[in-house]
Amino acid sequence: MPQGGLLTLRGQNIDLDEATAARHLAAKPGPYVVLSVEDSGTGIDPALIHRIFDPFFTTKAVGQGTGLGLSAVVGIVQRHQGFVEVDSELGRGSCFRVFLPATPQAIALPVAQLDRLAGHQELILVVDDEAAIRELLQSTLEYYDYRVITAENGAEAVSLVAQRGAELNGLIMDLMMPVLNGHAAMARIRQLQPQLYGVAMTGLHSPEAIAQARASGFRSILAKPFTTEALLHIFYGAACGRSDGQSCLVGTVA
């Protein structure tokens, strides 16, 4: 909406019938929560609307977007057995609807014993171009007894590793960032600190994306969205292949 406009967010409960479910691959009839985001912006060209969920497809100018936002959204929704619908009209705006399977009854979730995954004042570098994500990760890790420093892009991360690499025990970094992306940044960081334990955060879950992250030097991959338990667990033995129950940040990991 380059000139401003109206952005409308809605949430509703629906029962999806068989006819509607049949229009979407792997969708099943039943109760769903529907999250809608509607704008009064420029709309989407009908000739392009079938491509908007493709990775790296964007009509924005260089530096204004990577074309990964909608692709990441679809990947996350599909992991939750949901689907996305979109309606758009040039000059009138667009409406995206996210359908997520629901249950009529409340579910009693087990209380995770997160204290057993707490750190011991290890220093972690958190790298993400979104301030809200950096702040959330920092507060969560600090609550569980880690020390945290942050960077807003890959170039800043490389600089911090060059300055404080000997102090660092690990890092967690988003892959898609401006200035220097996570792949390029990690390759440089590995030259500075070959044994530094690196965790990649990504909304892309394909085998190719995971293989590329590992080839860049990341030891573990954390798929978005993730829980606090998954965040804490990623620094422990199961994540890095240790069989002694020790943290991945202790000693050298082959």
CATH of domain 7-101: 3.30.565.10
Task: Name the one residue in this structure whose structure tokens are 């942050």.
Answer: 150
Query: Under CATH, what is the fold of the domain 114-240?
Result: Rossmann fold (3.40.50)
Please give the helix or strand (H or E) that residue 201 lies within, else none: strand 197-202
**Residue-level length of the chain:** 254
The strand pairing partners of 162, in sequence order, are none
What are the extents of the domains in the chain? 7-101, 114-240
Question: What would the two tokens of residue 194 be?
Answer: 């070959």
Per-residue pLDDT for the chain (254 aa), expressed as one digit of tens each?
888 899 999 999 999 998 888 888 778 899 999 999 999 998 888 888 887 777 766 666 555 555 557 877 888 888 888 999 999 988 889 999 999 999 877 766 555 577 878 888 999 999 999 999 999 999 999 999 999 999 999 999 999 999 999 999 999 999 988 889 999 999 999 999 998 999 999 887 778 888 888 999 999 899 888 889 889 988 875 455 555 556 777 654 33
Q: How far apart are CA 163 and CA 166, in angstroms?
A: 8
